[in-house]
Chains A and B, each alone.
Chain A
């Protein structure tokens, strides 16, 4: 599923990142934040009163915020054998 659909506080792992949906600098910044295939990820908060705001999520040990259009580029998997 996409990171935008991941229920809050459910541990997951990054399966795939559609780098083409991100600009070069956005992709670079996300990599620097530790976002890569296989990284552990957990959605923490959805901002905005009408669900249109950014998403705060934990990537590894870091908490980062990103907009929904960026989060939609990240596919995650959950479940017992999701860990790489």
Chain B
């Protein structure tokens, strides 16, 4: 089979490149990494108008070939044919924002000068029209010397035309090797871009600027901040309120599965393995899929609408106080979903010390893997009543846990900036894109990719750790008639007994010690581990087996212990994947080890303080 022609999608950030990529390739996307760097490679297959397949790769957005960050270096190296693991593209599709031609054409001119077969996609023409800007694609094409096609990626407009042109471009004879154009002065290229942009504008009428109107509220020092807090609050309330029904459904399915296995198999090792290990263990984690998807839904929406940058703007003043850039707010907010994409997103931060500090505090943002732990403890110990009309106490406690993580992160950043990452603070320079309504399909695709990742984790890491834990808990069997329980007699029980010497002072019992070990693999395993422990503990006691994990925790844990457990997880030493990605991003073991160390200390102290205070208060 011959290799497919490679077409690269390239352009400025906020030109609508990803939306165009999604619209052209649909769900047939492959995510990977460029070798040696942690920049994500996003590729998909595109069918040309005549049916020929082409490989389309979406390059990171950048402002010029003069790269500042690792992301931008990949873009430069790919289009110049210097990137390891990628051949030079056979053609480029340059995506420009129709309403920001002056700037985007400057980069387009740099790219056209490379001499590769090129098409310009004049994207988001609808938004330009909304702002009273009318453009002539034919003039633009004549001036640039390459085909220009007006597109609206989110409405799928102009895509067929683009496929047709691309076919013509790739069908023609092999690109003749053009002599590279002499390097031109930045200002000269900029002036030419301006001239071309002016020539292409047919009409420009002042009109209603939606973005400016919204920003008057969204960027207002007081109302903007209230809006941001309000949005975050709604987000965390929704995580509970919207997830009840789907969670009940998944629980029902898991219970039905467990019951049918119990009915179908005789009592024994296999039955215990399937019911206690697989169904109860993995099921107790899968049940949180709805909540994780709700959280991701909000984060994807905030990103796709253009609000995320506004949040960064609002937070910059506060972030500057702890020595960080407002830009750090975006990776940190992504870390609420998962610290891994969050830490990877720090690559857009140019200043190395800003970046390192952001990486080190990213695990303090409450990631979605902690949500199952919080959810089960809050569900068991915090009564489901309203503190205010429409504001549930459970959602409120969850909100407080998130806030504690944020405050902790800010304090840690402040201390780090004065000690290990001491130095002048980098700046805050960002483009603020127009607001836009995302295409529902793009959001659904994003959620689908997250769901697959989560279920894969549940099926691999979580499944494996649960099974290993089940084995360690089930063997050896205590002698017949012994007063020692199965869990205490097992290997895992003995290990936990040893660990408990350290953890007992902060109110943790044997079961928590047991759950914390596999929770290093993935935090949510703490829940499946507890479920497995109690499932084995219950043995054949039907009445106990039918009780939910929450109910059993409530019976066995005093309130201070539960609160200390929550406090532990605010700072909980992060999962193995986070340590691995930190090692990769910081090129060594020094910083990941430092991170694990300080998080352990914080978690221990926080849990201890919570336990002692709660006990003293007589809870």
Contact = CB atoms under 8 A, between A and B. Distances in A.
Nearest to A29: B429
A54 B63 contact: no
Contacts of A62: 100, 102-103, 431
Contact of B313 (A26, A49, A65, A70): A65
A50 B225 CA distance: 13
B355 to A, nearest CB: 13
Contacts of B190: 31, 34, 36
A44 B215 contact: yes
A46 interface: yes
Contacts of B316: 47-48, 53-54, 65, 67
24 contacts: A32-B64, A32-B106, A33-B63, A33-B103, A33-B431, A34-B102, A46-B221, A47-B219, A48-B318, A52-B317, A53-B317, A54-B313, A61-B99, A61-B103, A62-B103, A64-B429, A64-B431, A64-B432, A65-B313, A65-B432, A67-B320, A67-B427, A67-B429, A70-B429
Q: Which 6 A-B pairs have the closest CB atoms?
A: A48-B317, A53-B317, A32-B63, A45-B219, A63-B432, A54-B316
Interface in B167-222: 186-187, 190, 211-212, 215-216, 219-222
A28 interface: yes
A72 to B, nearest CB: 12
A56 B215 contact: yes
A61 B313 contact: no
B536 interface: no
Interface in B264-311: 309
Interface size classification for chain B: 35 or more
B221 A65 contact: no
A73 to B, nearest CB: 11
A42 B436 CA distance: 22
In this complex, the member of A44, A54, A67 whose beta carbon has the largest number of chain B beta carbons within 10 angstroms is A54
Nearest to B63: A32
Contacts of A32: 63-64, 66, 103, 106-107
A30 B430 CA distance: 9
A47 B314 contact: yes
A31 B66 CA distance: 12
B503 interface: no
B253 interface: no
B350 A67 contact: no
A67 B63 contact: no
A25 interface: yes
A14 to B, nearest CB: 13
Contacts of A47: 219, 221, 313-314, 316-317
Contact of B429 (A33, A50, A63): A33
A56 B432 contact: yes
A60 interface: yes
B557 interface: no
Interface of B: 63-64, 66, 68, 99-103, 106-107, 186-187, 190, 211-212, 215-216, 219-222, 225, 309, 312-314, 316-318, 320, 326, 350, 427-432
B317 A49 contact: yes
B429 A30 contact: yes
A67 B320 CA distance: 10
A65 B430 contact: yes
A34 B343 CA distance: 30
Nearest to B433: A63
A57 to B, nearest CB: 10
Nearest to B187: A36
A31 B189 CA distance: 12
A83 to B, nearest CB: 14
Contact of B431 (A25, A54, A63): A63
Contacts of A66: 427-430
A25 B350 contact: yes
Nearest to B309: A65
B505 to A, nearest CB: 42
In this complex, the member of A23, A47, A63 whose beta carbon has the largest number of chain B beta carbons within 10 angstroms is A47
B60 to A, nearest CB: 15
A80 to B, nearest CB: 18
Given A44-B219, A70-B427, 11 more contacts: A30-B429, A33-B429, A36-B190, A44-B215, A45-B216, A54-B313, A61-B101, A63-B431, A65-B429, A66-B430, A67-B320
B32 to A, nearest CB: 28
Contact of A54 (B101, B107, B326): B326
Given A36-B190, A47-B314, A49-B317, A64 B430 contact: yes
B69 to A, nearest CB: 9
A22 B536 CA distance: 64
Contact of A26 (B225, B309, B427, B432): B427
Nearest to B321: A52
Contacts of A30: 429
Contacts of B103: 32-34, 60-62
Given A61-B102, A67-B427, A49 B221 contact: yes
Contacts of A67: 316, 320, 427-429
A64 to B, nearest CB: 5
A49 B222 contact: yes
Contacts of B211: 63
Contacts of A26: 427, 429
A29 B428 CA distance: 11
Contacts of A46: 221
A29 B19 CA distance: 24
A61 B66 contact: no
